Structures are given as structure tokens and as C-alpha cells.
Chain A
Amino acid sequence: MSLAQALFMGLLQGATELFPVSSLGHAVLIPSLLHWSFKQSDPSFVPFLVLLHLGTAGALLFVYRTQWVEIIRGFFTAALRGRIERPSERLAMLLVVGTIPAGILGVFLEHQLKSLFASPQAAAIFLIVNGLLMLGFEGLRRRAEARVAPAAKSRVEQEESFAAAEQISFKAAALVGACQGLALLPGISRSGVTIGGGLVAGLRHQEAARFSFLLATPIIGAAGVLEIPQLLSTTVPLAEYVAAAVLAGLAAYLSARFLLRYFRSGRLDPYGWYCAAAGAISLALLTFRP
């Protein structure tokens, strides 16, 4: 992998990890469509992905640094007391409950699913499915809006009728967390399904995005940290990879800031249409190219 390719992949991963468009799907599809020669089965590719994930997790930690201090403090206080008294304690426990199903699915099924569906064609098909899921989530949300806030005059007013992340039930948090398991399929977006799950659970768009990003941090960070030994045991161009990871972190930081602002009144629809179109075009190119 050349330096330019490494930097491009860093930028791509950092941006698409948080946008509901599937980073894994793009990481499988784009090199294949551009006829790049590097192999994703190469031993040096895993350490590369590890560093990119650490860059993204670092950016998310930075975006929510104050909240993470509160969440960690809330976790220990509530765990030792055996009772939840403050919103930050409830959020900490919701994140624990949401992270466990994703952790179980990730540890037990990641290898099997990745080896089953690692082809660009499968990624294109799942990208179309991801688009349809986003549109479906918004369809369900519009129904809920018609029921909950029929008299709302603006989108912001409409959004205010829905809940903050701290207010969802533990069952809903577990379901949103389990949705993350779907993202093991290349083309299905982790942030997309968790934001969608949050919307179905009755969260405001911005709160669903916040919950999704908070939920992502331990999973992405742990996946990165667990693979560090591989990074140290393989001969890799470390400087190039670190530069790509910094770029991934920067892209993830800007993406998070943009999305949190966008979801004050924005919806998942544009990303749904993008995924459906990008998946269909990619599938056509992969099928009919000479």
C-alpha cells in the first residue's frame, strides 16, 4: 500500500465510521472498484485497520471527553452502591447493557461472518440493504411523529417530543446494542443501525446519534487495543500507518461534530438513498466491468 493509498483509506475510514454509510462496506468496495492491488488478506492490513480504529476511538473520546469522565464516575458509583440515582449513572449502565450484546456477537461471530461475506459483491448488496434499513427506520419514525407530535410547527419542535439518551429503557439499550452485531456484515453501518434503533426506541435524532457514538467508543477502542500485539509482531510501515490513523481521527472528529449538528433537525433519508444508490451502482460495476 502506497502512502497516498494509506492516507486515503484513513480519511475514508474516519469519515465513514460515524456517517451511517458503513465504513467496512466502503473499505471493501472502493479499493476493489479502483483496482488497487493491495490485498486485504495481507498480514499487514489488520494492523493498519487497528491503528485506524484507534484513531477513530481517540476522536470520539475527545468529542465526549467531559461526558466520559461523568460516565466512568457514574459507572463506579452506581455499581458499588447497587442503585442508580443520577442521569450519568443511568447512561453508564445503559452503555454497559448496550455494549455486552455487541461484544458477544463481535467476539464469537466476527471471524466467521467476515470470511463468509468479505467479497465486494456481498458488500454492495448489504449496502443496498443498509439504505433500505435507513429509509425503513425513518418511515417508522414519521409514523411515530404523526402520533406523538401531530401539531408540531417545525422539525425542532417535533424532535423535542422525543426522549434523551438517558431516558430509554434497558431493554431498548440492549436491543440497540445488539443491532451493532449487524454491522459485522460489510455494507451494514454500525452507526446507521444504532441510530435507527435509537429512533425506534423513541430517542431524538441528535440523542440517537449521541448514544450511538458513545456506544461505539468502547467497542471500537477495545477492538483496536486487543489487536495491538499484532501491530507489534508484524513488520509494518509504522510512520505511514500512524499518519493514516491521525487522518482517520481528524475525519472522525469532524464527522461527529457535523453529524451532531445535522441531526438537530436532519434525518437518515439522504444516507439511506446514498447507500441504496452506491450499492446498486457498485454492484453493476462489479458485475459488468470487463
Chain B
Amino acid sequence: MKGNSLAVGLVVLAVVFLLLAGLYYEGVIQVFVSDPQSKHHTSHAILFSVLAIASLIGANFARAKRAA
């Protein structure tokens, strides 16, 4: 049960990270950016995409642990 809720939590986190990646890429969020005039904050978008993938991998680990 614990592994399952952790997996769900990590999937939710991945969705949040993906949203943040999109918002940074579109220049909607300007927090901690080097150039506020820039239309796209690519490095921030890539970072949040990587965090989303890492969260999904974490969720897969939590799910597999529960199944074992």
C-alpha cells in the first residue's frame, strides 16, 4: 500500500514538473531566470522535463517494489 501511494505521488509530481517545464518554456514563469526578457527559458524547461522523467522512473521503482 505504501509503495502504491508513493508511486501515485511520484506520478502526480511528474505531471507538476511537466507543467512547470511548459510554463518556463513559454516564459510564463520568470522566477530565478538569468534573462527575464527572453521568450523561452530552455534550460529551466529541460531541467523540469528531466525531473519529470526522474519522478516517473521513481514511480516505476516504487510500483515494482510493491509487486515483488
Known: A107-B43, A108-B32, A226-B46. A80 touches B60 (CB 8 A): yes
* Minimum CB–CB distance for B11 against chain A, Å: 13
Decide if A147 is an interface residue (CB 8 Å cutoff).
no
Range of interface residues on A (Cβ < 8 Å): 10 to 19
Decide if A100 is an interface residue (CB 8 Å cutoff).
yes
Distance in angstroms between the alpha carbons of A83 and B64 in the assembled complex: 7
Q: Is the CB of B63 within 8 A of A82?
A: yes
Distance in angstroms between the alpha carbons of A281 and B44 in the assembled complex: 39
Range of interface residues on B (Cβ < 8 Å): 10 to 19
- Please give, as numbers and ranges, the residues of chain A lying within 8 Å of B33 by CB-CB distance: 111
* Minimum CB–CB distance for B36 against chain A, Å: 11
- Please give, as numbers and ranges, the residues of chain A lying within 8 Å of B32 by CB-CB distance: 107-109, 112
Where chain A touches its partner, the secondary structure class is helix
Distance in angstroms between the alpha carbons of A111 and B61 in the assembled complex: 35
Decide if B6 is an interface residue (CB 8 Å cutoff).
no
Q: Please encode chain A, from 102 to 120, with 1 for each CB lying within 8 Å of some chain B CB and 0 for all others.
A: 0110011111100000000
Q: Is the CB of A104 within 8 A of B61?
A: no
* Minimum CB–CB distance for A77 against chain B, Å: 12
* Minimum CB–CB distance for A241 against chain B, Å: 22
| A83, A96, A107, A109 interface centre (most CB from chain B within 10 Å) | A107
Distance in angstroms between the alpha carbons of A62 and B6 in the assembled complex: 39
Decide if A236 is an interface residue (CB 8 Å cutoff).
no
Known: A82-B65, A108-B32, A109-B32. A100 touches B60 (CB 8 A): no
In the complex, residue of chain A having the shortest beta-carbon distance to the beta carbon of B44: A107
Q: B residues touching A (Cβ–Cβ < 8 Å)?
A: 32-34, 42-44, 46-47, 50-51, 54, 57, 60-61, 63-65, 68
